[in-house]
Every structure is written in structure tokens, then in C-alpha cells.
Structure 1
Amino acid sequence: MLRPHALAAGLMLANGLIAPAHADMTSGSIAVGDKTLAYLEAGTGPAVVIIHGVGGHKEDWQGVATALAADHQVFAIDMLGFGGSSKTGDDLSMPVQADAVKALLDEKGIDRADLVGNSVGGWVATTFAATYPDRIDQLVIIDAAGFKAMFEGTPPVNFDPNDAAEMQKLIDITINSDVAKTPGLAEKAFEAYVASGEKAIAGTWGKSLFASPRLEELFPKVAAPTLVLWGADDKLFPSALAEVFAGQIAGATAQLIPNAGHFPQIDNPDATIAAITAFLN
């Protein structure tokens, strides 16, 4: 049974791919009930919220965010349970995550926004679009997690790695570029995963995934123009799912990112930025 929680947390930080916030990006946080949601912000114009996948963080998306910030107000968030956001509570489900996105828009006085989400972030974005159709303009989901078959069968790797060797296997199935071969990356990533506190809440995160509505239940409720992006060489979820998912959302289109796996923003950032920018503009 596939449980893609705690996916390589700290990976980008360990490899030095997460830099301090760019000079033209500001960091902030808001209260969401008894929790805190952390975010980076840049630019002015129509709002865009970027939601990372498990194992990711808001800083992973600075390249995409700064590109979009040329003519958008961009927010890259840490999902609840990750990065600078709170790692407390018994419910980190997709509806709770979607409500946190709504809270951010409410705090900023934003009526409607575009959403971009990768992996579980795509699940969050889809949940938001289905739950709050009057608050979203356009939706981009990238190698989205959360479909029914994901919870069947034996997982290909341990998504809650217990040592560097298991972390390396996780890296190898999610990242196709040379980043995955960086010497010492798995060791640093595992250390960061534990130190971040994200491993400690892996059980809560897993339960929250199982308690969340599946994509197949959400897609018919999505009315926003939607782009389904997928790494053409995704080893975790087959790229054929892009067309399948697009066929379940009214008017949606599918596009593959060449030379990319489950995290196209890492493997082929230029093509990923170009596809998102072209769709949102």
C-alpha cells in the first residue's frame, strides 16, 4: 500500500538547493487556528499560490516563484507539517491544508487566486478547487498524488525512510536528474528529515492521507481551467495518468515535461516554468 508521506524531507536543503529567500522575496507566516502557516511572497498582480509535495518546502519553488512574480503576486507556502509551518495536531488532511490556503487568501484580502501544486500539493490544490470554486481562477497540478490506486498494493520504497540507504532508494525513484547522484546527499537528507521534526509526525501525516477524499471524488467538482503537468519519465506515478486525470476534469488539458520525473521543477525547471507561465498568462 503506497503511503507517500514524509517523502525525502530535507532533501533540497541537504543538497544546498534551498537557498535563503531571494532578495526580492519576503517571508512571513499567519495563524491558522492554533497552527502557523509559513510562506514566501513576491511580486504584484493576480495571485498565485504554490504548494509543494511531501518532502518539499516553499524554498524549492523560488525559481518558479520569481519567474511568475514578473506579473503575479506569488505565495509559496509550507504545508502544515512541513518546513516553517506547524508540526502539531492530529489532522493534517487535504481539507485542513486547503483551509489553510483559504486562510492565507483571507488574511491577504485576496478574493481569487491561481493554484499550483506538485504531488500531494496537487492533491491539496485540487481539494481547494473542489471545495472553494469561487476562490480559484486557474489550477495547475503536477504529478499529483491522491488517487485511489495509490493506496493499493505494496509501496515501491519506504516512504518514511529509517536510514540513509532507504533515503537513497526514495531519492532514486523520485528524482531523475544528476541531483540524485550527489555524493552524500542521502545521508544529509536523512539527517535533515529527522532534525526537521517531520519524521516524528509521519504517522499523523499517513493517517491524514487515508482520511482525505481521493482525486477521483474531487475532479468532477473542479470548474476552474486546469492544466495537468507530468514528468514524462516519472518512476513513481506513470505519466499516462496525466491524460487520465485531465479526462476527469471538464475542459482540462494535459502536458508532459520531457526529461523529468516526479519533481519536474527539479529535473527540468526551465520547461516546467515555461509550461506554468504559458498557462497562467
Structure 2
Amino acid sequence: MFETLSWVHEGCRLSYGVEGAGPPVLFIQGVAVQGEAWRPQVDGLAAHHRCLWFDNRGLGSSQPLTGALSVARMAEDARALMDAQGWESAHVVGHSLGGLIAQHLALTARPRVRSLSLLCTFARGQDVTRPSLGMMWLGLRSRVGTRAQRRRAFLRIVMPPEVLASADEDALAERLGRVFGHDLADSPPVTMKQMSAMGAYDARARLGELAGLPTLVVSATADPIAPPRLGRALAEGIPGARFVEIPRASHGVTLQLAAEVNALLREHFARVP
């Protein structure tokens, strides 16, 4: 377990951890996932980077959730934690909803962001909150039936068929539940508010402002939440951005193929002067 720290910002005691030494890296997590889910990245990068992860407000130990929730407000939380560490700037890594938060942080506080790494994400939240029929069916299956059935259905959202074909699904669900911070059969109370905040955000018209900012966009071929077409469109909207598509991977690529993701991040950070 990481050592847990806290910092009060706008009525919420934000729970976070810091580990490693070197250039700072700020990790921002997605919907209903605690910061601890960045463990594979922190373990892989802390030897050469100072890594900070945190629970978004209203989730895990970052409580209480006060007032309205928005991508802009969560970006301010991220910036406040950089201030708490005395960081003038950092490499910023966001996954899914965390990618929107990272984009907003870069758009509103450009000097604070050394580079952007946007994983399994998109520029417009509605592209995800108004899902395809296939994704609606997966989502429904993760909310009905026995608890074991709901856990297994959730696995199909975050892991590709190749992994599940040879996995002990019950054991995998238990392991991911510990990493996510909740049983996969349940959704944290803040989940719908996070989804609403995500659906209200659209950065497409401003992506051009990020020209010149070293940006890596990573998609997973089998991701039903953020399919590669959304990642490709995001990368095309940011002049100079690099797009990478990882085959045989899904929305949980940071956990499934941590070594590959970490190698991409290290290479990306090393390119920044």
C-alpha cells in the first residue's frame, strides 16, 4: 500500500499518495476508480519519476463531495495537489474521465503541464455517455443478475476476450475490485455524478490550443468504452500529437498490459526537453 496523504481543497479532503524521485508525474483516474489503480504505473516509473496519484473528489477517501461536480472542478483539484507538492509543472497522465480532466488542466494551466498522456479517452464526453447498443447491453448486464454475474459482466467492459478466455474470472474480479476500490458488482455513489460531469464536457473546439504540447494518445483495439476512433480523433485534433493503438487490449489496458503502457510513458517523457 502507498502512504496516504491528504490536502483540503474547496471543502474536500483530497486523498493522495506520492512515491519515487525525479521529474514529477501526475496521474488522474477515471470514473469510479480510485487512484490506487495506478499502482502498476507507479511501480514501473517511480525509480526515475516522482509520481502522484489521488482519489477524485467524492470517491474513495476523498470526501466529502460538496457542491456540483464538473471536469473543471476536478482539474482544479489536480492543480491544487501539484501546489501542495510545490510542483511548478508535471507530466500529466489521464485515463478515460481522467483524460478529460488532464485536457482541461492543460487548456487552463498550460505552463503547469510538461506533457500530456491521454489513455483510453476522448475529447467529448457525450461520445461515451451516449453509448452504442453493444455498450448499453454490457452496462445492463453489469447491473442486473447475481453479484457474481454482475462482476463477470463488468470484466467484459475492461478486459478483452483473449484474457477472459483463459482467466479465472471470479479471482480476476476479486483482484480488480481491490485495485478499483470497490466490488465490481457495485457502483460507488458518486459514479452517476462523474458520468454527468463527463457528459457535459467537450474540448473539441479548443484542442488546437494544445499545439506544441508533447501529447501521447493511446487507445486499445478492443475498448468498448473509448474505441480507437475516438482516440484517433482526439490525436488528430491536437497538432503534433502521437497516436498509438494497442492490439488485444481493452479499457483496462493500464492493468492488463502495464509494462507496454509504462514503456510508452517513459519514452514519451524522455522526449520532453
TM (norm. structure 1) is 0.80
The answer as to 2:252 corresponding to 1:274 is: no
Paired residue for 1:152?
A: 130
Residue of structure 1 aligned with 2:219, choices 212, 230, 247: 230
Paired residue for 1:37?
A: 14
More helix by share: 2
Deviates more, 1:57-66 or 1:110-119: 57-66
Runs of at least 5 residues in structure 1 that lack an aligned partner in the other structure: 1-19
- How much does 1:203 deviate? 3.6
Is contact 2:31–2:194 with CA below 8 Å preserved after alignment? no
Deviates more, 1:42-51 or 1:217-226: 217-226
Residue of structure 1 aligned with 2:105, choices 114, 128, 147: 128
- How much does 1:98 deviate? 0.3
User: SS at 1:240's partner residue?
Assistant: helix
Report the Cα distance in structure 2 between the residues aligned to 1:198 and 1:32, rounded to whole angstroms: 25
Report the Cα distance in structure 2 between the residues aligned to 1:218 and 1:198, rounded to whole angstroms: 32
What is the CA RMSD across the aligned residues, in angstroms? 2.8
Task: Count residues in correspondence.
Answer: 256
Report the Cα distance in structure 2 between the residues aligned to 1:113 and 1:263, rounded to whole angstroms: 24
Runs of at least 5 residues in structure 2 that lack an aligned partner in the other structure: none
Residue of structure 1 aligned with 2:115, choices 135, 138, 149: 138
Report the Cα distance in structure 2 between the residues aligned to 1:54 and 1:249, rounded to whole angstroms: 24
- How much does 1:128 deviate? 0.8
Report the Cα distance in structure 2 between the residues aligned to 1:141 and 1:187, rounded to whole angstroms: 27
- How much does 1:243 deviate? 2.3
User: SS at 1:214's partner residue?
Assistant: coil
- How much does 1:162 deviate? 5.5
Report the Cα distance in structure 2 between the residues aligned to 1:186 and 1:42, rounded to whole angstroms: 27
Is contact 1:42–1:74 with CA below 8 Å preserved after alignment? yes
User: SS at 1:270's partner residue?
Assistant: helix
The answer as to 2:53 corresponding to 1:66 is: no
Is contact 1:41–1:76 with CA below 8 Å preserved after alignment? yes
What percentage of residue pairs aligned between the two structures are identical?
A: 24
User: SS at 1:217's partner residue?
Assistant: helix
- How much does 1:187 deviate? 7.9
User: SS at 2:228's partner residue?
Assistant: coil
Change (3 A) 1:279 1:135: same
